[in-house]
């Protein structure tokens, strides 16, 4: 296992992530009403735990197409400041468009590696990262950088997915794709949607990075749509990791895989619609 881990190429992985989100970012924004229904409540909980107040300076890492940066900007008000960063140049451009459509001039966006911030020390009151830290090859390194950018007493708040067993929305499609594409199982210690989800892991990386008083709580995040077919459409268009797993395969084989995923996800349909289980961990700590 140690030998497998040493073969992991973090730079290549980050380049693939950048390319993926430059390609899939527009779909993520297009599905933002659905994504907000799924992730909106826990995002508001995140902002509460970060103790965001009017006039503060907030850093959002892996901001994607604008959340939670936009919600944070509404809380800090015109006298505050939010810097939304992401490894993808294309997706932060979308975030800026969203901010300007909302009339939020207090948001700035920059393409930036979350593990290596081009920012001065002690310059932000809070750091946010929604569904990004678990995809970083070196989460402790990232958190140390975020801690450096925080003022004394500043807060960090992150959201990650918990375990595959509690996130059928992702585990079921991933297992089908892995089997059909003959991909090896994920290696412990490497980035991925559930890499920080096991009990005690997130608290541990907070402490290793030097943060104090880490608190982590589990939040149910069921993924609801009108049907399994609609859910699969969201997954195909907005969840780039699934497409990346099958990118080396011919188009007909990829289509066949998605058909099998849809067939399997129909088990989560009922007369009330489609609902597949999900769970996130919301973690916070103090510098």
Strand-pairing partners, residue 126, are 58, 155
The whole-angstrom separation of Cα 275 and Cα 267 is 10
Percent of the chain that is helix, strand, coil (3-state, to 5): 50, 20, 30
Tokens of 57: 């300076």
Q: How confident is the model at residue 5 (pLDDT cuts 50, 70, 90)?
A: very low
Of 112, 32, 104, the closest CA to residue 70 belongs to 104
pLDDT at 94: 83
Of 100, 117, 123, 43, the closest CA to residue 75 belongs to 43
Judged by DSSP in three states, 226 sits in coil
Work out the end-to-end distance of the chain between its first and last CA atoms, rounded to an integer number of angstroms. 34
Average pLDDT, the chain: 91
Q: What angle do CA 285, 199, 59 make, to 5 degrees?
A: 30
pLDDT above 90 coverage of the chain, percent: 71
Q: How confident is the model at residue 1 (pLDDT cuts 50, 70, 90)?
A: very low
Global pTM value? 0.92
The whole-angstrom separation of Cα 83 and Cα 227 is 37
Chain position carrying tokens 């901010």 = 99
The whole-angstrom separation of Cα 146 and Cα 205 is 13
Q: How confident is the model at residue 85 (pLDDT cuts 50, 70, 90)?
A: very high
């Amino acid at each position: 296992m140690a030998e497998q881990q040493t073969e992991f190429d973090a730079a290549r992985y980050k380049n693939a992530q950048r390319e993926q989100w430059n390609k899939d970012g527009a779909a993520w924004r297009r599905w933002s009403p659905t994504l907000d229904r799924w992730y909106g409540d826990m995002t508001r909980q995140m902002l509460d735990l970060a103790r965001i107040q009017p006039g503060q300076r907030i850093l959002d890492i892996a901001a994607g197409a604008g959340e939670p940066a936009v919600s944070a900007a509404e809380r800090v008000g015109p006298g505050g400041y939010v810097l939304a960063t992401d490894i993808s140049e294309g997706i932060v451009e979308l975030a800026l468009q969203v901010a300007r459509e909302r009339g939020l001039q207090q948001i700035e966006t920059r393409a930036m590696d979350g593990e290596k911030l081009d920012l001065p020390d002690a310059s932000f009151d809070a750091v946010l990262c929604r569904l990004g830290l678990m995809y970083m090859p070196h989460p402790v390194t990232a958190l140390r950088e975020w801690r450096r950018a925080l003022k004394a007493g500043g807060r960090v708040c992150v959201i990650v997915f918990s375990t595959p067993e509690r996130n059928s929305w992702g585990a079921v499609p991933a297992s089908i794709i892995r089997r059909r594409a003959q991909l090896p199982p994920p290696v412990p210690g490497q980035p991925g949607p559930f890499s920080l989800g096991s009990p005690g892991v997130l608290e541990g990386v907070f402490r290793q990075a030097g943060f104090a008083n880490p608190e982590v709580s589990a939040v149910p995040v069921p993924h609801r749509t009108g049907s399994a077919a609609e859910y699969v459409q969201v997954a195909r268009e907005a969840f780039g990791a699934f497409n990346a797993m099958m990118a080396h395969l011919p188009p007909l084989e990829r289509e066949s895989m998605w058909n099998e995923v849809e067939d399997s996800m129909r088990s989560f349909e009922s007369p009330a619609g489609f609902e597949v289980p999900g769970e996130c961990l919301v973690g916070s700590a103090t510098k």
